[in-house]
Amino acid sequence: MHSQATGSREQRQAEILRRIVAGETADVGTLASQFEVAEMTIRRDLAALAAAGKVDRIHGGARAVRAPVFERRAGERETEKRAIADAVSLRIPGGQTVGIDIGTTCLAVAEVLAQRDDLVIVTYSIPVASAFRSSACRAILLGGVLTEELSLVNGNILDIRQNVHLDTLVLGCAGYSGTQGISYFDPAEVEVRRALVQATDEVVLAADYTKFAARAAFTLGPADLVSHIVTDTRAILDDVPSAVGVTRATR
């Protein structure tokens, strides 16, 4: 790319930002050469853009801001997730100990349950636990190694099996099929779910319509592992086992 006159600081930073968003090379040396300025000047430009939240600094340069995976998904299908969450809450009597899975639909469930004062919550999701920080419900966060999904895995699974009892477990999923079962992307998270399933009396699946046309690599169990599905009106449930109850939530 040909070099470019320095111009004003504002013009230079605007052009740097345009190039970064477009996916062009954004290392300090290349930008300094292109704009015919010192590398320290480019470092100051990138620092200013980063401070404004417009780019992320990386070693030697910058890149376009990337919304974290979990936060990005949390903004998708919010209406459906809230309707599902309300319907799940109606299924859970007061006085129960409730396990809540990770994921954005389960976070929506947590936000609704946090308005109550009659539950004990067990989870391995940091966002789910955080939803209860001002709640009258007591929340217990299981330990482990932090993942990109803001879950804690590879903790003491045996301890969960021996010391945890749940009345209801609210699961999310990556995919659900009557023939292929309930599937997920991360094997470590599947092991935590498996321990929680063994510790619970009832499993409720909270999932929007997109999960019923999907399949992931790691299977937790057969479709009838759950006793009830709470979903939205767009879900296609042709192959759900007859023993599994279904609630279609509306808003």
Contact 207, 231 (CB under 8 A): yes
Q: Which amino acid is at 236?
A: I
- Residue 138 or 66, more confident: 138
Handedness of CA 213, 219, 222, 224 (dihedral sign): negative
pLDDT band at 197 (very low <50, low <70, confident <90, very high): very high
pLDDT confidence of residue 18 = 85
Work out the average pLDDT over 64-79.
64
The per-residue pLDDT for range 112-137, each reduced to its tens digit, is 999 999 999 999 999 999 999 999 99
Across the chain, what does the average pLDDT equal?
A: 89
